Chain A
Amino acid sequence: MMLSRVAERIYWTGRYLERVANTARLISIYETLLFDLPKTVELSWYNLIIINDLQETFGERYSVRSERNVVKFLLGDDDNSSSLINSLKAARENVRTTRDVVPEEAWEMICELTIYVQDNLEQGINRRSRHEFLEDVIKGCLQINGLLFSTMPHVASWEFFQIGYNLERADMTVRYLEAGLTGILELADDDYAVNSQQVIWGSVLRSLNATQYYLRTTRSPVKGHEVMPYLLNDPAFPKSIAYCIKSIVKSCHCLPRSEPLIEHMGKIEKKLNVKMDFVNPGDELLNFLNQLQILITSSHFVVSDIWFPSD
């Protein structure tokens, strides 16, 4: 038995928790990426704003696109609804309002994490202590995921949590691929290009914790034409889009009235199976990723139409 409203809140808990972890990971990886790129490459912190489609809100708050402003905006800005602190507060609010369904300890853990982030936000904004702060946030999220995974009965509430975080993941993965490809296409055709490509794809992999398993699975060095298909279609890697979609379909089979969502996931799978030229990437591929992203984003409305309260 599961209230529609509770289903919605649990779904958002999954999405927001995943968003918190992703934001933390993205910032911590980006730093190392910038260190490794040759100075000729014009990649800036502002790209993080672009990846997350936040240009407008950022523009309203800051005029200077500096590292400090970008990080501050992404971590602790009250006006940025998807800043780390706001995502975490939203996750906490969703847990607070579903306490009858989530494990008791989840509430305490998310309170602890929120307190930690509120008390130490400045550490995250300061470069010297940033890494440690972000690592702690990621660990906090993993801890909560682990708690839910090991204690929550795998009934409807669990499936909604899964659908939430798998959608968020798929969404992130396709955004990172788009960002990576945009960076590659903007590279000047010079001696540094090959090296820069490797640096960029390498950081996309790292942003998704994918490097190690990419290497083991593809037995290939970091090359765009291997990285992209891996992150799109690998059947076993938890952050590949194909895997996220497969997981959502699996959840659908445990839930009532799920046919429209299964159908929608079918569309995404079909898109993933389109043969693309990854060796000589160009605008066509970028366009493909863009369409894929639109399909993934619109999944939310399908979920909402089926299960969530209409008012």
Chain B
Amino acid sequence: MLRTIFGKTLFEKRWTILIWFAAALISIFGISMIFPPIRDTMGSMMAQVPQGIENWFGESSTWQTFEGFAGMEVFGQMAILLVVMAIVFGAALLAGDEASGTLLTVLSRPVRRSSVFWQKYLAFVAMLAITAIGFYGGAILGGWALGEAVSYDGFALATLMVFLLSLALGSLAYAIGAITGRKALAGLIVGFYAFVAYFIASLSTATEIVDKLSYGTLFRYADAPAVLANGLDGRNVLVLSLVSIVPLLVAWAIFIRRDLRTR
């Protein structure tokens, strides 16, 4: 485990990873447990509300199945949990090491900056993937506990989109951290964007302008209810993947050349 920077990063963060995994599993399982009362109230309520409000909250039929509920609540609203984790770790993994000085200690050994950059990033992806598994597991366990029909493939694809969304935002935070060496700045910029984007995406059905604005939010491309209903949309996968990769490559090119923060 301690043979590589990748292994050491995971080893160091093992308890944090475990806590996030458990938090994702338990909270998603807990949210799943509210499905029966939600089904009863939302089903009858949605049948009486105007069309605009129904668009906002989802059609009444959506709330009648566990899969529909999972698309709206679990993979829709609760995606923010994984997003927060991704931004926190993306911002801190490399820039945090630079701020604390441990990066200089590593680079005082014959280690390439590229190697540190990519190994730390891979560790970040692994941490996110483990938490996403907890997310998926919580939804499956919730379905089992309620005796509802569970779409394993559909949930896996919805989890994949939530993972890609979180990866894109986490990668942005990682990239800003690598360019500036400042984790707080990276977290603040991406966190602010995610906060605004989340609201715009949530309100996208309210008006046409907000709907147009929502194309600028990454949340639009991780549309879980649509994934559960229609399967993966390759274009959305491409957008989220490109947002992960392009800033990362730019950050890598800058990080291997720039002056590091020395204390």
Say whether A and B bind each other.
no
What residues make up the interface of B, taking CB atoms closer than 8 Å to A?
Answer: none
Residues on A facing B (Cβ under 8 Å):
none
